Chain A
Amino acid sequence: DIQMTQSPSSLSASVGDRITITCQASQDIANYLNWYQQKPGKAPKLLIYDTYKLQTGVPSRFSGRGSGTEFTLTISSLQPEDIATYFCQHCDHLPPTFGQGTKVDFK
């Protein structure tokens, strides 16, 4: 199985900060990488699929980049509603696996 490793595991930032979360795959997954946001007690929400494609309704401050084994999710200007845990997930082949999550909160 492909192992997905996110860094950092948690981060603290201020409103308006630019933050970047990294996801590393244990083998080449081309651009088959998706990002989800999960708030406490809620279901995950798809933010970005196929590395950089923004899901309908997701604010443009979210962006994704990468290819192969290294990927990033960037929030250009952190907003209060962005406090959540973020997961990456590959869908290159079976089984799809998720990163362990990055918890984002305020300083």
Chain B
Amino acid sequence: EVQLVESGGGLVKPGGSLRLSCAASGFTFDTYGFNWVRQAPGKGLEWISFVSASNTYIYYADSVKGRFTISRDNTKKSVFLQMSSLRAEDTAIYLCARDPGRLEPSYFDHWGQGVLVTVSS
């Protein structure tokens, strides 16, 4: 069974940093890309970053470019999102989503349950 489990969320002050993790199991990790998608409370979905299976292709939404860094560790079957210079508008549930796309985001065929990040003083 495919499982994606996010961790690392919490309350952080504006300007602070946080590192999210997404632990995967139940499939061949290094043959899939991964995305981070966020959902502000009561709002819609916003794609924020993608990393390819080969770790060669990495992309970011303009809203987080220069502040967030996506990475993956195939030995640990995990994907990470390092978030810095956090703003109130980054408050959201952050979801990890698996992607069969090899070069760029395609469709998101499995999702984690998400982790809440709250940016507030």
Q: Is the interface of B mostly helix, strand, loop or mixed?
A: loop
Cβ-defined contact, B45 with A34, below 8 A:
no
Cβ-defined contact, B107 with A91, below 8 A:
yes
A100 closest partner in B (C-beta): B44
- Closest chain A CB from B43 CB (angstroms): 9
B108 closest partner in A (C-beta): A46
Q: Give the bracket for the number of chain A residues in contact with chain B.
A: 20 to 34
CB-CB < 8 A to A46: which residues of B? Answer: 107-110
A1 closest partner in B (C-beta): B62
Alpha-carbon gap, A87 to B95, bound state (A): 15
Q: Does A49 contact B (CB under 8 A)?
A: yes
Q: Does A68 contact B (CB under 8 A)?
A: no
B114 closest partner in A (C-beta): A43
A93 closest partner in B (C-beta): B104
* A94-B59, A95-B47, A98-B45 given; A50·B107 CB < 8 A: yes
Contact of B44 among A45, A49, A95, A101 (CB under 8 A): A101
Cβ-defined contact, B105 with A43, below 8 A:
no
Q: Does A96 contact B (CB under 8 A)?
A: yes
Alpha-carbon gap, A101 to B46, bound state (A): 12
Cβ-defined contact, B109 with A55, below 8 A:
yes
Q: Does B112 contact A (CB under 8 A)?
A: yes
- Which residues of B are interface residues toward A (Cβ below 8 A)? 44-47, 59, 61-62, 95, 97, 101, 104-114
Using A34-B107, A96-B47, A96-B105 as known contacts, list a sample of 7 further A-B pairs with CB atoms less than 8 Å apart, ordered by residue number in A.
A44-B111, A87-B44, A89-B47, A91-B104, A94-B105, A95-B105, A100-B44
- Which residues of A are interface residues toward B (Cβ below 8 A)? 32, 34, 36, 42-46, 49-50, 55, 87, 89, 91, 93-101
Task: Give 10 CB contacts A-B under 8 Å.
Answer: A34-B107, A34-B108, A36-B45, A36-B108, A43-B114, A44-B108, A94-B104, A95-B47, A95-B61, A97-B47
